[in-house]
Amino acid sequence: MGKPHMPLLYGRGPLVGSLVPSLTGLAYDERARRKREFGDDVPVLLLTGQHGLGRSAVLEGLARHYHKRLPLAHVRVVVPGAPAAVSVGSAQPGGVPAAPAADFVQILERIVCALAPGFGLFPVLVPGLFAVSGWSLGDADVRDAVCARHARLLIACGLLAGGERDVAREWSERVEASVAEAKGAADAGAEVADDDGSLPVTAAILRELQSLRGLTPARNWYGQRHTAPDGATGKPDALLEIGRRFHRGGDYRHAVENTLMAAFLEEVAAGYGLVRHLNREPWPLILLDEAHAPAGQRFLQLLLEHRALVQRPHRDRITVVATRLGDIPEEEAPQAVRRELADLLPAAGSGRRKQAAAIWQRTGHDPSAGLLVVPLTPLSRDDVLSMLDRASARLLHPHLASALHSLTGGHPAASTVLCDAVVHAARQNRTVAPRDLLDLPTPQGRPVTQVLLEDLLPDRRQRDRLLVLCLARDNATAEALAEDLRLDGPEQLPANAAAQYLVERQWQQSVPVDAPLVESPLLQSLLVHEARRISPPPDDPHSWHQIHRFLHLHHVQRSDTGEADALRHSLAAGNAPRVVDMLTDEFGAEEAEQSVQHWLLCLRHCATAPTPPSVGTAAATHSHEDSGGWSDHRMEIALGEHAARYTHLDEAGRSINRLLHALWYLSEPYADPAIDPDAETLCQAVGDELGFLSRRHRTWYAALGRAARDWPVAARKRQVLPVPASEGS
In terms of Cβ atoms closer than 10 Å to its own Cβ (0-12, 13-18, 19+), residue 678 is: middle
Q: For residue 576, is pLDDT > 90?
A: yes
Question: What's the distance, CA 439 to chain centroid?
Answer: 23
At 365 the pLDDT is 87
3 state SS for 571-624:
HHCCCHHHHHHHHHHHHHHCCCCCHHHHHHHHHHHHCCCCCCCCCCCCCCCCCC
State the average pLDDT over residues 586-595. 83
d(CA 114, CA 116): 6
At 275 the pLDDT is 63
At 391 the pLDDT is 86
State the average pLDDT over residues 466-480. 91
Q: CB within 8 A of 366, min separation 6: which ones? A: 308, 334, 335
Q: Report residue 622's pLDDT band, with 50, 70 and 90 as the boundaries.
A: very low
d(CA 253, CA 330): 27
Q: For residue 344, is pLDDT > 80?
A: yes
pTM confidence score: 0.84
∠ Cα 248 250 256 (to 5°): 75
State the average pLDDT over residues 235-239. 86
What are the tens digits of pLDDT across the range 597-621?
A: 999 999 999 999 999 997 655 444 3
Q: C-alpha distances in angstroms, 294 versus 99, 260, 375, 460?
A: 17, 17, 20, 24
At 629 the pLDDT is 67
Q: How many CB atoms lie within 10 A of CB 2?
A: 12
Q: How many CB atoms lie within 10 A of CB 609?
A: 22
d(CA 65, CA 238): 41
Query: Which tops the pLDDT comparison, 460 or 95?
Result: 460
What are the tens digits of pLDDT across the range 159-214?
A: 999 999 999 999 999 999 998 888 765 444 444 445 556 688 999 999 999 999 99
At 39 the pLDDT is 79
To the nearest whole percent, how much of the chain has pLDDT over 70?
A: 87
Mean pLDDT over the full length of the chain: 86
DSSP string, 206-232: HHHHHTTS--HHHHHHHHTTSPPPTT-
Give helix 238-248 / helix 250-270 axis angle, nearest 10°.
130
In terms of Cβ atoms closer than 10 Å to its own Cβ (0-12, 13-18, 19+), residue 518 is: buried
Q: For residue 392, is pLDDT > 60?
A: yes
In terms of Cβ atoms closer than 10 Å to its own Cβ (0-12, 13-18, 19+), residue 633 is: middle
The secondary structure of residue 371, as a DSSP letter, is: E
When mean pLDDT is compared across 85-99, 436-450, 506-520, the lowest value belongs to 85-99
Q: For residue 374, is pLDDT > 90?
A: yes
At 274 the pLDDT is 65
From the list 637, 608, 635, 604, the residue with the least C-alpha distance to 703 is: 604
Q: Report residue 242's pLDDT band, with 50, 70 and 90 as the boundaries.
A: very high
At 12 the pLDDT is 82
Q: What is the dihedral of CA 134, 139, 143, 144, to 10 degrees?
A: -160
Q: Answer yes or no: are the C-beta atoms of 421 and 441 closer than 8 Å.
A: yes
State the average pLDDT over residues 136-162. 93
State the average pLDDT over residues 46-73. 91
When mean pLDDT is compared across 204-218, 505-519, 682-696, the lowest value belongs to 505-519
Q: Report residue 8's pLDDT band, with 50, 70 and 90 as the boundaries.
A: very low
d(CA 517, CA 470): 6
